[in-house]
Amino acid sequence: MITGNVMKLLLVSILAFNLFAQGQKRQAAPSAEPSKSTPEEGIPVTSPLVISKCGGCHTKDEKGNLLRISWERATPEGWEEALKRMVRLRGVSLSPEEAREIVKYLATYHGLAPDEAKPVMYYAEHRIQDETNIPNDNVRGACANCHALARPLSWRRSPEDWRYLANLHIALYPQADEAFRLGISAGGFDEERHHLEPGAPLPVDEALAFLSKTAPLNTPEWAAWRARMRAPKLSGQWIVSAYLPGRGQFFGDMEITPNSSADSEFTTSVKLTSVKDGSTITRTGHSLVYAGYAWRGRSKGAAPAKAPDDVSSDMREVMWISPDQTTAEGRWFWGEYQEFGFDVKLRRPSADPTLIGTDCSLLKTGSQGTRVRLMGESLPGKIAPADLDFGTGVTVRRIVSHTPNMIVAEVDTAADAVPGKRDIALGRAVLPSAIAVYDRIDYIKVTPDSALAHLGSERHPKGYQQFEAVAYQRGADGKPHTADDVELGPIDVNWSVEEFYSVYGDDDKEFVGSLSSTGLFTPSSDGPNPQRKFSRNNYGDVWVVATAKNEKDKEGRSLTGKSYLVVTVPTYIKWDQPEVGQ
């Protein structure tokens, strides 16, 4: 006699066998074999350390190529991740100094050109970004079900090596087999439902064709950069402008000093001043520049951090240095989920007058005597109102004060001034799209418009979220929420949390966390909560609402904006943590 439990076990076994059998009909391994008729030229490896540590498995040919390595290029983060995998899976023994030198060599001589790296910088900078470069759902399903598309696009490989990568995924990650066969609809083996004709290309084949074309090993950009690449000459003073959501604009200087022992390593000292409240930040750090342009560093404040969003916190720095080494841009970030961060721009100072930024982002038509502060460098000793130009309809009434680093001016904006972004000019110094003229604010957006925060505990730190309210004017077409709308900048708002009703009796608002007057969301603690029904954890989803303090819509009602916030459990396991920034 077969009991109920035994019957269930038999049914599960039969189902598992059927799923396995159906899966065998269409293997996720790439259906086309790598082309062997025209092998691609590899990049010889010349580092004795790389050869000695990697050559045991990655055999060397008569041209100095190491198997796999010579047919790959990647960012510093990509090579570091590959090296960690070799240590974990292959037992490679390395000292920290050896690992550092190997990553430095590979990220420089088997790296990306600046023009190749810039489109995927958001991945190294840990920015949340909606990827619009995914060509179709098959590529999305094969590559972006588990990670951002920027991850494979941070590499350059030969077609053969792209196929080796697909095979490696199947070997290491069981779920990759399903994603490679079914793409974005992964979750079952019903071939008829997924319109998979016998012999038709699999999603993985389409993804590999896309990657081989979009991210090939040999490119004109890399050929040009290999000839042009030079050691970074960055020593001296740099002008810094930085923006921190919730805190506003900062300006200051960075002093970069080269290390005597290495031509691509530097120490830094920076002082920033807040435009909003005049507070100052001082930081010191170390950085390493890969391939002549890829800045990776770490810095810390003068005092220990006292709060999660404290700007004295230890930060990681990721920046892209222009090929001519006159400017740089990137992100300095911190937090358990890298959720806090400055958007940073650097430029070398000039003997000519230079405008860096302003404390005012918007001018209302018909306004009189609006005070505008302009930050700059090497500003002239004498400045008349006629020397400053805000464009037609905006008149500089008087210069209140000026120093070599700042101009304070009062401006009048005509009632019929044309709305839109304006440049500010002082002689040949121009600050592009620095200020916006508007007749009224038509709506506000809360950024980010959808967000994720993480509960926390003593073992798993919380993941916070900073919100900001940005005002918009309807643009030349007179219609709000269209492509020509004018962004006016952050405005003062009151913050609140509203329930996002997704189930009957929703009570998430009471348990997920709290929102400060500056738009910083602090999640609650992780774990069962006896005060909730069924002692549920404190997860949930809510609306974060911004209500303008001083602005009304055309009907006289308070302007509001919303962001959808999901508060979830911590990331309990972190598989890898890049450490290339020192």
Q: What residue spans define the domains of the chain?
A: 41-225, 236-347, 354-438, 443-568
> At how many degrees (to 10) do helices 159-172 and 203-214 cross?
140
pLDDT of residue 15: 36
pTM for the full predicted model: 0.88
CATH architecture, range 236-347: Beta Barrel (2.40)
- Given a cut of 70, is residue 411 above it in pLDDT? yes
Name the E strands within 506-580: 513-515, 520-523, 540-552, 558-568
For the 443-568 domain, the top CATH level (class) is mainly beta
Distance CA 308, CA 460 (A): 14
Is the C-alpha dihedral spanning 41, 47, 48, 53 positive or negative?
negative
223-227, 256-260, 270-274, range with the lowest pLDDT: 256-260
Mean pLDDT computed over 154-181: 92
pLDDT given at position 552: 83
What's the pLDDT score for residue 453? 97
Q: Which two tokens stand for residue 291?
A: 């391939």
Question: Do 354-438 and 443-568 share a fold?
Answer: yes
pLDDT classification of 34: cutoffs 50, 70, 90:
very low
Is 354-438 a domain of CATH 3.90.550.10? no
- State the average pLDDT over residues 487-502: 94
Averaged pLDDT score across all residues of the chain: 89
pLDDT at residue 230 above 60?
yes
Express the helix, strand and coil content of the chain in percent, nearest 5 each: 25, 35, 40
Residue 14: the pLDDT is 32
- The confidence score (pLDDT) of residue 181 equals 85
Predicted confidence band at 197 (pLDDT cuts at 50, 70, 90)? Answer: low
Question: Which tokens is 479 given?
Answer: 């219609």
Q: What average pLDDT does this structure show over 320-326?
A: 97
Tell me phi and psi for residue 6, to 5 degrees: -65, -40
- What average pLDDT does range 460-479 have in this prediction? 95
Type and span of the H or E element at 162: helix 159-172
| 427-431, 510-514, 533-537, 578-582: least confident range | 578-582
Q: In the predicted model, is pLDDT for residue 409 greater than 70?
A: yes
pLDDT at residue number 575: 66
Q: Cα separation of 124 and 107, whole Å?
A: 14
Query: Is pLDDT of 196 > 60?
Result: no
Query: In this predicted model, what pLDDT tens digit does every residue of 78-115 receive, in sequence order?
Result: 999 999 999 988 899 999 999 999 999 999 999 999 99
Instruction: Tell me what pLDDT residue 578 has.
Output: 60
71/42 Cα distance (integer angstroms): 5
Mean pLDDT over 328-340 rounds to 96
Kindly provide the residue ranges of all beta strands, DSSP E only, lying in 448-575, ordered along the sequence.
Answer: 450-454, 465-466, 468-473, 486-490, 493-499, 513-515, 520-523, 540-552, 558-568
Expressed in angstroms, the distance from the first to the final Cα of the chain is: 67
Chain-centre distance for alpha carbon 346: 18
Helix axes 203-214, 174-182, angle to 10 degrees: 90
266: left (phi over 0), alpha (psi -120 to 50) or beta: beta
| Mean pLDDT (whole number) for 312-337 | 97
State the pLDDT at residue 31.
Answer: 52
Percent of the chain with pLDDT over 70: 90
Crossing angle for the helix pair 159-172 and 174-182, to the nearest 10 degrees:
120
